[in-house]
Structure 1
């Protein structure tokens, strides 16, 4: 009976030790994967959250008015830059789609003209 308790206790201790030590060895892989996938990129929601926290700090008198205005302007500029970056690929894709449609229409018209000339 004592032998079974000794084995169960050792298993619990080894399991706890594994869970305590494993994050130290796996931490670098998680950061590298986050950098590769672009999770570190600043999003518009993050900027809006920062502005919201800044406004809360200002209302609670933790930040003076001068700093509040300056930081809010910086966040607004950052948000506008992010919005511009997000809209660029969409507009480029839309213009490419339009040009592709125009090319297809031109090709159809050329085929119609060739068929009419061939008669």
Structure 2
């Protein structure tokens, strides 16, 4: 009977340590991929939240819950934030497109050079 309790205590200790390891290990890992993914999702969520807020401001103004000066001030503030996010998205997209275009041009140049060297080597 004593053997069973020792074995069960050892198995329980291994189980608890395993669970503790699984809970603690994410705090010590490098999260660069997750940060990048989180940032892109955060920008999309932020943009959506700002657009929703703009709609709510307009609705409240039409329901006469906001004065015209408050409405104009809030609308200008949120529109500038949305415009900044859109500019940032456009810039990052343009950079990605530029890199892709540059890589494609380099591949075409290398292919052209290889074709010319094959033609030149045969003469």
Q: TM-score range by the shorter chain?
A: 0.5 to 0.7
Deviations 1:5-49 (A, max 9, x none): xxxxxxxxxxxxxxxxxxxxxxxxxxxxxxx64466552211111
Residue 106 of structure 1: aligned partner: 109
Q: Which runs of 5+ in 2 are unaligned?
A: 1-34
State which of 74, 95, 98 in structure 1 corresponds to 2:98: 95
Q: Which runs of 5+ in 1 are unaligned?
A: 1-35
Deviations 1:82-110 (A, max 9, x none): 11111222111111111101000000111
Pairing of 1:23-102 with structure 2 (within 5 A): 37-38=38-39, 43-102=46-105
CA distance in 2, matches of 1:60, 1:106: 62
User: What is the alpha-carbon root mean square deviation over aligned residues?
Assistant: 2.0
Aligned positions, number: 85
